[in-house]
Structure 1
Amino acid sequence: MLLLSRNAFATSLVACVCILGVVLIQFPQLQKLINSKKSASLETLEKEIKSEKLSLNFLQKMPSFGYDNFIGDLIYLNFLQYFGDDEVRDKTGYSLSPEYFEVIIERDPRFLAVYRSLSISTSLYAAMPERAIALSEKGLKSLSPWIPEKSYYVWRYKGIDELLFLGNAQAAQKSFATAANWASNFSDAESQLIANTSQRTAEFLSRNPNSKYAQISTWAMVLNYQVDQRTRKRAIRAIEALGGKVITTPEGTNKIVFPPKD
């Protein structure tokens, strides 16, 4: 038994090391792209992006040996590096965003933190809301109201994408209603706040699918996600275009002033 246990441990360790090695080997192009971003031509950058996409496709299909979460974590770290490189992204765009999340959600659909990044990077930056929604729906098949905790947020992110980027008020209404239902299972202040605000948004949309109040409230959700300055400016512009105003209080919080009529 002891020998079998040692063999099993050794096999597991070797598999882990192999996976780590493969993952690290598959991402040299991204690091090269980051290091040479100031001088690289657009043609070179586009070649690097194609190479990175092939690497992600490989990682999606490779065996995990039970280390799916580990692989998901590593890929998410590489995504953050990719997304945060504004200088290169201004040249090439954000088309790889959904490719990262395709792999991560396939490996670890309960990795809750990735869904907000998925919504912002894929819908707002890459202009692929349909892809973001499809990936969220794929991940939701592995979620429940209780596992993981606060998984109701995924329904909210999905509702935001459906309302703001597809204009599908009916689908958004169902997503916000589900978020409210899932959040209502918990008694803590955060969950109750999410339950109440999601329910109000769902009710707005059920009464008036074109509700400006609902759209402003949804952009306010984006604004309150502690997003980067570019996303913040986009949300404020959208709120103002709908007739609302954003006022920053002395405490640093955002106060939304709604228009007189919906």
Structure 2
Amino acid sequence: MLYKFRQNLNQSLGAIAVTLLCGLAIGFVQLPQLNQLSTKAKTALPEQLNKEVEAEKLRLNLFHKVPGFGFNNLVANWVFLGFAQYFGDDPARQITGYNISPEYFEIIIDRDPRFREAYFFLSGSSSLYAGMPERSVALMEKGLKSLTPQTPPKSYYVWRYKGTDELLFLGDAQAARKSFEKAAEWASTYSDPESQNVVAISRQTAQFLAQNPNSKFAQVGAWTMVLQNAVDARTRKVAVSRIEALGGKVVITPEGQVKVQLPERD
């Protein structure tokens, strides 16, 4: 047993070593270009930031090429940390935009399609900020092929993110309705209150869209989900403004809870 444990350990360490060597080899080939792009040039700030974005593109290209050897989930986690740093740099993103956001998630979904939490950030960053809802939806469709109602737990949220993007950013009410129906179907396999609430609101949204493809109720409901899950003030501000533009109203209760009132008419 001890021998077998050592053998497995050696194999694991060997795989890690090979992965690192592959990454170093690729990095060595592109090192001059990376160094050139990463050097702080004595130029205008926008030009410098654009060079840093180009350097990040090269880094992401490395992750596309490096084999996982059974550690794909670690690669996905590492890339997600890089995305968090990229997305969180507000001053830089105001200048360069968010155009490479989908590149992070293409790697993440290829490496670990069951990384459920990543899909929410994919939707927000790629659809709302980068203006690439088609890419966002395509990546979610790709990832969903590896998901089931129970794996990962509560994966029905991915269908809701997909439906939200289809409704709010693609204007595809029919596709959105199908996604919300699928979210309700998957959520119905759980008995906890959170999941049952998702069943109810997903079915309701699907019914709104079936009756009226341009339903304001459905759009307000989708923006409400964006508002409730927002991780930054910018997203909350956008969601509130869109809800109010549709005739809805955002109310803060004395307890600090956020409640959304639907428009008077659909």
Q: TM-score, normalised by structure 1?
A: 0.90
- Alignment partner, residue 6 of structure 1: 6
| Per-residue Cα deviation, 1:84-106 (whole angstroms, up to 9, x for no partner) | 11111111111111000000000
Could you tell me which of 53, 56, 70 is aligned with 1:52? 56
Counterpart of 1:146 in 2: which secondary structure? coil
Structure 1 residue 44: deviation in Å?
A: 2.1
Structure 1 residue 18: deviation in Å?
A: 5.4
| Per-residue Cα deviation, 1:8-54 (whole angstroms, up to 9, x for no partner) | 4223114325546849x96x97xx97x979x9622222122122112
| Per-residue Cα deviation, 1:170-202 (whole angstroms, up to 9, x for no partner) | 000000000001001110000000010000000
The answer on whether the counterparts of 2:137 and 2:162 sit within 8 Å (CA) in structure 1 is: yes
Could you tell me which of 254, 259, 262 is aligned with 2:263? 259
Structure 1 residue 5: deviation in Å?
A: 4.8
Does 1:80 pair with 2:84?
Answer: yes
Instruction: Return 5+ residue gaps in structure 2 as ranges.
Output: none
The answer on whether the counterparts of 1:60 and 1:106 sit within 8 Å (CA) in structure 2 is: no
| Per-residue Cα deviation, 1:39-80 (whole angstroms, up to 9, x for no partner) | 962222212212211221221222111100111111111111
Give the share of equivalent positions with the same residue, in percent. 56
- Alignment partner, residue 170 of structure 1: 174
What letter matches 2:122 in structure 1? L
What letter matches 1:116 in structure 2? F
Query: What is the aligned length?
Result: 257
| Per-residue Cα deviation, 1:236-257 (whole angstroms, up to 9, x for no partner) | 1101111111111112221112
Counterpart of 2:171 in 1: which secondary structure? coil
User: Superposed, which structure 2 residues align to 1:133-172 within 5 Å?
Assistant: 133-172=137-176
Could you tell me which of 120, 123, 132 is aligned with 1:119? 123
The answer on whether the counterparts of 2:102 and 2:126 sit within 8 Å (CA) in structure 1 is: yes
Taking the aligned partners of 2:93 and 2:20, their CA distance within structure 1 comes to: 27
Could you tell me which of 189, 192, 212 is aligned with 2:196? 192
Counterpart of 1:243 in 2: which secondary structure? coil
Q: Over aligned residue pairs, what C-alpha RMSD do you find?
A: 2.5
Structure-2 change in CA distance of 1:2 and 1:187 (3 Å): closer
